[in-house]
Structure formats: C-alpha cells, structure tokens
Chain A
C-alpha cells in the first residue's frame, strides 16, 4: 500500500456515505456538478479577498460535489454523454474561477509578477485538459503527464490551508507546461506510428 493510496482509501470512507445519501435522495448528478461550481466560485471569492483558510474549506466542500457526481451517476444509472460533457465544461469553469480569484488578489496587491505566474499557470492548466481532449479525438488514449485536475485541486487546497500559494502556483505552472509537452509528444509519436497503439 502506497502513502497516497492510503490517503485515498481514508478519504473514501466519508465520501461513500455522502454518495449513498445522494443516491438515496435521488439527486441528479448534473445538479451536483452545478452546485460544485457555484461553491467553487465562492472559494474563488474568498481567495480574491485573501481569506485562504476559508477558501480552502470551501474548496474541500466544492470538490466533494465534483468528485461524487460521476459515482452518483453510475449508482443511479444516470450516466449519459451529456453528463460527461457537462462535467468537463463545468470543471474548466471551476479551474478558471480559482485562478481568477488569485489574479484579482495579486493585481489588488500590485504584484504584476504573480499576476503573470497565475495567468500562465491558468493557461497551461486549461491547455493540459484541451490537449488530452483533442488528442483523444485522434488516438485512443492520452493519459500522460503528472499535473491533472485532481493534483491541481489538492495543491490549491494545500496552498490555501498552509498559506503557500506562491510555491503551489510555481509547481502547477512548471508541471503543467511539461504535461502539455508530454501530451503533444505522445500524440505525435502515436500518430506517426499507429502500430504502437495497436501493440499497446
């Protein structure tokens, strides 16, 4: 059992209870997704006002909704193509909201250097998702690169709870650049040699 696997298992205990409650109440997964983004906007508002601890707490609640919507959809038998599309679009909105909150804060503090760091981190985070979505319209799978959405969200929470947002933004920026590069290179290699995909 790995350290991160253990943390995942521990977190699943309360989440299972929340999923069961949502299934019992027959809450539609698309509504859960939408509630999640609304709560994330509240977190962005708190980030913009430099209330990091409060923002971190709100992010935890928002991302519970974000995490359980897919599981509730499976258990209620409400899995649909539109649900997947809706979830992806709303996820991008949630991502951008958090970054915009920080951009507002840093511009208010007169820190153009961190406005740039945050803007670039936002740009490459969106590119990470876009690169995979576009690649998977051409090849079977493009799940390479470290910095995906769950990693980003957990890093945001760590940055908020421990007031280390600058370090978190640098990590997100650098690893997102490599993730995008990784996906471009992977897609290029797969398309250049389609046999590789068949063999894999």
Chain B
C-alpha cells in the first residue's frame, strides 16, 4: 500500500496508520486533535448520557447566529 498523493490524504493516512513514537511533534499534534474533539464537541451532539449542554462550539455557534 502506498501513501496517498495529496497532503490532506497523507495527513489522514499517517494519523490512522500510525508509526510515530511518543514525544514527537506528530504525537503532540495527534494529542491536541484528540483533546480538541473531547473537550470542544458539545456533549449533546454525542448524546452523552452523563454530560449535557452545547459546550464551547455550541456557545460559539449561538453567538454567530
């Protein structure tokens, strides 16, 4: 299997078919992306059984509207 030719394709490929060590800049980027997903996605979007609310993204969207 070869890596995709386009940059977004390569980024996704490397994120999912992970070969990097811990404490590398690629690892940092992945950690930040995961934390952003966990903390920024509104619990209501995921139908979280124990948390409620729209979170920072929901607040931002309500401001824009």
Mark A residues whose CB is within 8 Å of B.
2-5, 8, 50, 52, 105-106, 109, 111, 113-114, 144-146, 150, 155, 158-159, 162-168, 170-171, 175, 178-179, 181-182, 185
The reply to whether B28 and A2 contact each other, CB–CB distance below 8 Å, is: yes
> Which A residues are CB-close (under 8 A) to B32?
3
With A2-B23, A2-B28 given, is the CB distance from A185 to B50 under 8 Å?
no
Tell me which of B23, B35, B39, B49 contacts A166 (CB under 8 A): B49
Do A179 and B50 form a contact, CB below 8 Å, given A2-B27, A3-B28, A167-B38?
Answer: no
4 additional A-B pairs beyond A52-B50, A111-B49, beta carbons within 8 Å, are A4-B22, A144-B18, A164-B43, A179-B18
Q: Across the two chains, which residue of chain A brings its CB closest to B26? A: A2
- B residues near A (Cβ < 8 Å) are 1, 15-19, 22-25, 27-28, 30-32, 34-35, 37-39, 41, 43, 46-51
**Cβ–Cβ contact A3 & B17, under 8 A:** no
A1 to B, closest residue via Cβ: B23
B22 surroundings in chain A (CB, below 8 A): 4-5, 8, 150
A174 to chain B: closest residue by CB: B16
